[in-house]
Structure 1
């Protein structure tokens, strides 16, 4: 959310017809509330983008500091880690601190949809993720997935309450999607999670769709999803 968007919203409110029959005080309060929510959305997008830059370069301490005191981190089928200290240690499963020679850990975040609660104390965010991975002695990988996250304002600062990345497809860099479908990793035996995965599913060639945290923007209806049949995941 840019400053231009905030200014445009202000202009629209100022230009609202007098037929609305509201007092100047009411209109000022409405403008103040609208600007605050737009600023919240802008702060959340900045928070999530910052997470991406830190995560890509293995800045695990800085990543963990973006989470609330009871923040939750969940990546695919690896389970849930709770609290900044546990999250920081779990991130070492993605590579050493600051990565190192031969590592690539790019997780791009696109198509942001941020929804701030009316009270401005919590929010949700959905993002499309594109992944490029490499590590010494192994072939590179491409991946895609969806982020469904929640945020909380803690001490007046927006932090990540829960980050859940759903990889929906992983493939070998050279073989490509038509000849390679790599399954997700399960929970680590070296550093087990605090909780098991919140949802069991399989990535490509299956076609699981993470539930939407926001309604249809035009109809206002909740999006009802029919997930693919999966005997292992218990979906008939």
Structure 2
């Protein structure tokens, strides 16, 4: 019995030494990781409480040039993309869809998360979920441009292959959350114009796409719009 106790004590001591060694060896990376975990995220309320830690780290980096905040291709990810022109459109006069390669259950969970925070008077019954491949969600006509953009971003943050799609008689476009930055949505219109949407702008007033053909935009299967799952709603 005493041998077992000695063995357990020895294992505990070795584990403790290993833990201390790891903390000392990777102390900087651990601290930086904890700071970046405190970055405020819309659908994670706990990060709101911890966000002062992230803002302190951000301020220290800007003041002293320290490398604290996680970078997006060498930047802090907060930049707004430039544009060469603005393409206004009537968001209320088109159909809005979310397309995502995931399960219907996951879609329902993401919608519930979104509805807890969105500004519009929406509920889960307003959204039509079709178990197509990929999953297709038809959004209610009353959803605002702001809420639709946030919803697109929310899906893209959780599911890599997700898109927000707008379709009307005058304009079609697909969009997704840009992984190189935090607040930019990028996409392309049906006639090939590349654009961005900055989610911190006042999207209630600024219902337009910011055109910039120099943006890098990933390709989208337009068949999903022209003769794919979306037509199953008609």
When normalised by structure 2's length, the TM-score is: 0.29
Bigger share in strand: 1
When normalised by structure 1's length, the TM-score is: 0.29
Bigger share in helix: 2
